[in-house]
Amino acid sequence: MLSESGQLISLSSLPQPINPPQRLLMGPGPINADPRVLRAMSAQLVGQYDPAMTAYMSETMELYRGVFKTSNEQTLLVDGTSRAGIEAALVSLIAPGDRVLVPIFGRFGHLLREIAERCGAEVHVIEVPWGQVFEPEEIEAAIIEVQPALLAVVHGDTSTTVAQPLDELGAICAQHGVLFYTDVTASLAGNTIETDAWGIDVVTAGLQKCLAGPSGSAPSTFSPAAVERITARKSIEAGIREAGDAVTAHPIRSNYFDLAMIFDYWGPKRLNHHTEATTMLYGARECARLLIDEGIENAVERHRLHGSAMLAGVQGLGLAVFGDLAHKMNNVVAVMIPEGVNGDAVRGELLNDFGIEIGTSFGPLHGKVWRIGTMGYNARRDTVLTTLAALEAVLRRAGASVTPGGGVGAAYEIYADADRAIRAPSGVGA
Ligand SMILES: Cc1ncc(COP(=O)(O)O)c(C=O)c1O
């Protein structure tokens, strides 16, 4: 209720300051942000065209060229969560009526199809059951049949925990004159991704998984061929258009996600498009800076190690895992909920008694698996061992038959092997 002077007089209704409970986020993302990223995000704002800000933007572009392993000039942040990156890429690449091929192997393949359809594409899909991936030959056969303008495929799909191998698809797309887009939101920095070496035209991501940041920014990169396709529909909006600026009869169907304008916004023209989400840029820049400082190969290896320890740990408890393990992402595992155990109740006890969050699941896997992540700031030995110990305790209380000490014990064995390998690198006598 407001007083006559407009002041809030019922103080009891004023919410408390934000003070979230301590949580260890071991689900499929988001995860706890690296404190260094949060510190970068608490820095004061500067003006949009302050030289400090434009320098941060240019540095961010260069850092993400390193992260994506590309020399693409157009490597930038789309403001919004990972889905914003996907929408920007697809709405800018697809002209209504374009044929698009989407291989679907989980929830996020369905999302690509949905967004492509909303962009007015003629969408063709191929599908495999959740937990499996496609052979490159299957995708090539579909390309030959459909003759799409664009192949849009997810790399790591957290809904199923498997990653589609991409290394052969770029050459196939190039051979058939198809642009190649991939969503690496869940896999970037925890699994190998080679944008240029694999011939990928467009890659979009997010911060909240292996990059150890909060969601809200979508690092993305665009090859010269993709840029050519996008800028062919360039149309500068009326209020900022100058003599000689491009206008077309069929512009990109979103203003906010119009990459042709966004390229000019990040480039030397500094076109006045949106107001950059400065705080998110600080965070995204710090995520990339930390990753480059660690070394991308080292970060991938860290995710492989802790992901292997978590996998060995849940198996050591006697639990079964879901999906094709030969294609499992390093950073997440799907654990079958044992017969007779209430999956939501177990997740609830982990959260309430231990402050640990693990993930539920969607679609055909709903109620059948938990998803446990080891990613970004939480890809660490202490988080893996704590989660396994807590999971064992909660499962035993739920009456499940688990191997006592089997989870932590199996993970410790993985770590012991890794420690031995560090002490005695190959070629050095032990
Ligand atoms: C592979 C993949 N794509 C897209 C998304 C959507 O991301 P966001 O929720 O940040 O928009 C997710 C989120 O988990 C994801 O795992």
Per-residue model confidence as pLDDT tens digits over 73-93: 999 999 999 999 999 999 999
Among 79, 104, 158, name the best residue to mutate to test ligand 1's pocket (greatest count of ligand atoms within 8 A of Cβ). 158
Would you list the DSSP string of 217-278? EEEEEE-HHHHHHHHTT----GGG--TT----SS--S-STT-HHHHHHHHSTT----S---H
- What is the spatial distance between Cα 376 and Cα 306, in angstroms, rounded to a whole number? 11
Among 102, 113, 154, 185, name the best residue to mutate to test ligand 1's pocket (greatest count of ligand atoms within 8 A of Cβ). 185
Answer yes or no: is the C-beta of 108 below 6 A from any ligand 1 atom.
yes
pLDDT at 6: 57
Rounded to a whole number of angstroms, the distance between the first and last alpha carbons of the chain is 75
Q: Is residue 13 assigned to a domain?
A: no
pLDDT tens over the chain, length 430 residues: 455 655 555 667 899 999 999 999 999 999 999 999 999 999 999 999 999 999 999 999 999 999 999 999 999 999 999 999 999 999 999 999 999 999 999 999 999 999 999 999 999 999 999 999 999 999 999 999 999 999 999 999 999 999 999 999 999 999 999 999 999 999 999 999 999 999 999 999 999 999 999 999 999 999 999 999 999 999 998 888 888 888 888 899 999 999 999 999 999 999 989 999 999 999 999 999 999 999 999 999 999 999 999 999 999 999 999 999 999 999 999 999 999 999 999 999 999 999 999 999 988 999 999 999 999 999 999 999 999 999 999 999 999 999 999 999 999 999 999 999 988 866 554 3
Q: Is residue 17 assigned to a domain?
A: no
How far is the centre of ligand 1, averaged over its atoms, from the C-alpha of 185 (Å)?
Answer: 6
Do 263 and 329 lie in one domain? The reply is no
pLDDT at 279: 98
pLDDT at 72: 98
Do 222 and 325 lie in one domain? The reply is no
- What is the spatial distance between Cα 168 and Cα 174, in angstroms, rounded to a whole number? 10
Q: Inter-axis angle of helices 296-316 and 406-423, to 10 degrees?
A: 150
pLDDT at 430: 39
The CATH number of residue 340's host domain is: 3.90.1150.10
Q: Is residue 158 assigned to a domain?
A: yes
Do 50 and 127 lie in one domain? The reply is yes
Do 155 and 42 lie in one domain? The reply is yes
Q: Is residue 29 assigned to a domain?
A: no
pLDDT at 2: 53
Do 87 and 186 lie in one domain? The reply is yes
Binding-site residue positions: 371
Among 108, 155, 331, name the best residue to mutate to test ligand 1's pocket (greatest count of ligand atoms within 8 A of Cβ). 108
Q: Is residue 134 assigned to a domain?
A: yes
- What is the spatial distance between Cα 297 and Cα 231, in angstroms, rounded to a whole number? 34
Answer yes or no: is the C-beta of 376 below 6 A from any ligand 1 atom.
no
Q: Where is the domain boundary, 292, 322, 345?
A: 292
Domain that holds residue 316: 296-423
Answer yes or no: is the C-beta of 185 below 6 A from any ligand 1 atom.
yes
Answer yes or no: is the C-beta of 391 below 6 A from any ligand 1 atom.
no
Q: Is residue 40 assigned to a domain?
A: yes
Per-residue pLDDT of 304-356, as tens digits, reads 999 999 999 999 999 999 999 999 999 999 999 999 999 999 999 999 999 99
What is the position in ligand 1's atom list of the atom closest to the CA of 215?
10
pLDDT at 1: 46
Q: Which residues pair with 221 in a beta bridge?
A: 75, 203
Do 163 and 264 lie in one domain? The reply is yes
Do 286 and 308 lie in one domain? The reply is no
- What is the spatial distance between Cα 378 and Cα 276, in angstroms, rounded to a whole number? 29
Do 154 and 124 lie in one domain? The reply is yes
Q: Which residues pair with 24 in a beta bridge?
A: 356
The CATH number of residue 221's host domain is: 3.40.640.10
Do 301 and 386 lie in one domain? The reply is yes
Answer yes or no: is the C-beta of 229 below 6 A from any ligand 1 atom.
no
CB atoms within 10 A of CB 118: 14
| CB-based contact 194:65 (threshold 8 Å) | no
The amino acid sitting at 123 is V
Do 267 and 334 lie in one domain? The reply is no
Do 224 and 309 lie in one domain? The reply is no
Answer yes or no: is the C-beta of 158 below 6 A from any ligand 1 atom.
yes
Number of domains present in the structure of the chain: 2
Q: Where is the domain boundary, 269, 292, 315?
A: 292
pLDDT at 185: 98
Do 80 and 199 lie in one domain? The reply is yes
pLDDT at 242: 87
Q: Where is the domain boundary, 292, 313, 335?
A: 292
Q: Is residue 22 assigned to a domain?
A: no
Per-residue pLDDT of 346-383, as tens digits, reads 999 999 999 999 999 988 999 999 999 999 999 999 99
Q: Is residue 45 assigned to a domain?
A: yes
Strands 217-222 and 74-79, by their bridges, are antiparallel
pLDDT at 429: 43
Strands 122-127 and 99-104, by their bridges, are parallel
